[in-house]
């Protein structure tokens, strides 16, 4: 049985802040189709998210449009490959600092679909940032494929101090590899090489009951400690990542 492992590295706060500009926008519209798979409550939430994206676009933050796909795809449980292709193109330069829904209604469009429409007033903060090329890390020892069962070992060398969280995801299951009960979360020092697993009493195992399986090793590295406390489902992990991307710099 062969397991393919695709590594995805997410680096947050890889920027240097040079201040920000605030813009106020009014009556920004968002809409979403109510269907058999989408309830009115879900359609309303998605319409609000779409209105936020539109507010960011009108405020001059076009990068945000691509980032919004992460949230929509995680909510709709689309294929992990598509989700990670969206994750790897993230470049945050703005956020919605405040908003209020000023109007909402349902209507039928020309195709017979029921739409949930909302209008929001939003305050957009545009970050005037430059990237910090020094906030990065090197990863060594992760192979492209493993024969089940096998042990996963690798080395990480961060360029600057930060906090690491490691997830493993597949279409059927997911989990947090690090931190864990034997390896606590702690700040990693820049220019120091760390071997994983850090504990000699622990093995990271690669196993599969299928002939071929694709897994994603997700390395989240941040300058602040941001613990993941929800149930370790693929949906919760993707929502966690999406909120970091969509709501704030971390």
Model pTM above 0.85: no
d(CA 206, CA 1): 11
At which of 129, 164, 199 does a domain end?
129
Structurally, how many domains does the chain consist of?
Answer: 2
pLDDT over threshold 80, residue 96? yes
Confirm whether 139 is domain-assigned.
yes
Q: How far apart are CA 80 and CA 77, in angstroms?
A: 8
* pLDDT value of residue 82: 55
Residues 166 and 114 in one domain: no
Q: State which of 66, 100, 129 marks the end of a domain.
A: 129
pLDDT band at 208 (very low <50, low <70, confident <90, very high): confident
Classified as helix, coil or strand, 178 is strand
Q: What is the pLDDT of residues 147-205, one digit of tens each?
A: 888 899 999 999 999 899 999 887 667 889 999 999 999 999 999 999 999 999 999 98
3-state SS, 10-56, equals EECCCEEEEEEEEEEEEEEEEEEEECCCCCHHHHHHHHHHHHHHHHH
Out of 83-87, 96-100, 227-231, pick the least confident: 83-87
Q: In this model, does residue 68 exceed pLDDT 50?
A: no
Q: What is the mean pLDDT of the chain?
A: 77
Average pLDDT over residues 75-100: 59
On whether residue 247 sits in a domain, the answer given is no
The answer to whether the bond into 179 is cis (omega within 30° of 0) is yes
pLDDT band at 80 (very low <50, low <70, confident <90, very high): low
Q: What is the pLDDT of residue 77?
A: 44
| Residues 23 and 117 both lie in one domain | yes
Q: How far apart are CA 222 and CA 225, in angstroms?
A: 7
Assess whether pLDDT exceeds 50 at residue 70.
no
Whether residue 74 is found in the same domain as residue 6? no
Residue 118's pLDDT is 96
Say what the pLDDT of residue 218 is: 83
3-state secondary structure (DSSP) of residue 113 = coil
Q: Report the pLDDT value the prediction gives residue 225, as an integer from 0 to 100.
A: 83
* Per-residue pLDDT at 15 exceeds 50: no
Res 88 pLDDT > 60: no
pLDDT of residue 148: 81
pLDDT band at 11 (very low <50, low <70, confident <90, very high): low
Comparing 133 with 1, the larger pLDDT belongs to: 133
Residue 236 within a domain: no
Top-confidence residue, 70 or 38: 38
Domain coverage including residue 192: 2-14+132-227
Q: Which residues pair with 178 in a beta bridge?
A: 166
Nearest one of 235, 246, 206, 225 to 80, comparing CA atoms: 235
Higher pLDDT, 49 or 78: 49
Q: CATH number, domain at 193?
A: 2.60.40
């Amino acid at each position: 049985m062969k397991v393919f492992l695709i590594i995805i590295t997410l680096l947050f706060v890889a920027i240097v802040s040079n201040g920000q500009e605030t813009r106020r926008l009014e009556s920004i519209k968002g809409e979403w189709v109510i269907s058999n798979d989408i309830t009115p409550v879900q359609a309303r939430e998605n319409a609000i998210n779409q209105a936020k994206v539109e507010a960011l676009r009108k405020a001059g933050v076009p990068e945000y449009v691509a980032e919004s796909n992460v949230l929509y795809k995680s909510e709709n449980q689309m294929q992990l490959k598509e989700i990670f292709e969206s994750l790897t193109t993230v470049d945050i330069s703005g956020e919605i600092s405040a908003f209020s829904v000023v109007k909402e209604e349902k209507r039928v469009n020309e195709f017979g679909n029921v739409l949930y429409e909302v209008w929001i007033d939003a305050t957009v903060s545009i970050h005037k940032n430059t990237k910090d090329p020094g906030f990065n890390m090197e990863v060594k020892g992760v192979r492209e494929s493993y024969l089940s069962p096998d042990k996963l070992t690798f080395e990480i060398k961060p360029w600057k101090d930060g906090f690491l969280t490691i997830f493993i995801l597949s279409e059927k299951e997911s989990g947090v590899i690090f931190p864990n009960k034997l390896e606590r979360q702690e700040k990693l020092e820049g220019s120091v090489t760390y071997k994983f697993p850090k504990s000699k009493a622990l093995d990271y195992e690669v196993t599969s009951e299928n002939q071929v399986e694709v897994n994603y090793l997700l390395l989240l590295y941040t300058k602040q400690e941001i613990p993941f406390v929800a149930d370790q489902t693929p949906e919760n992990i993707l929502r966690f990542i999406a909120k970091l991307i969509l709501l704030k710099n971390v």
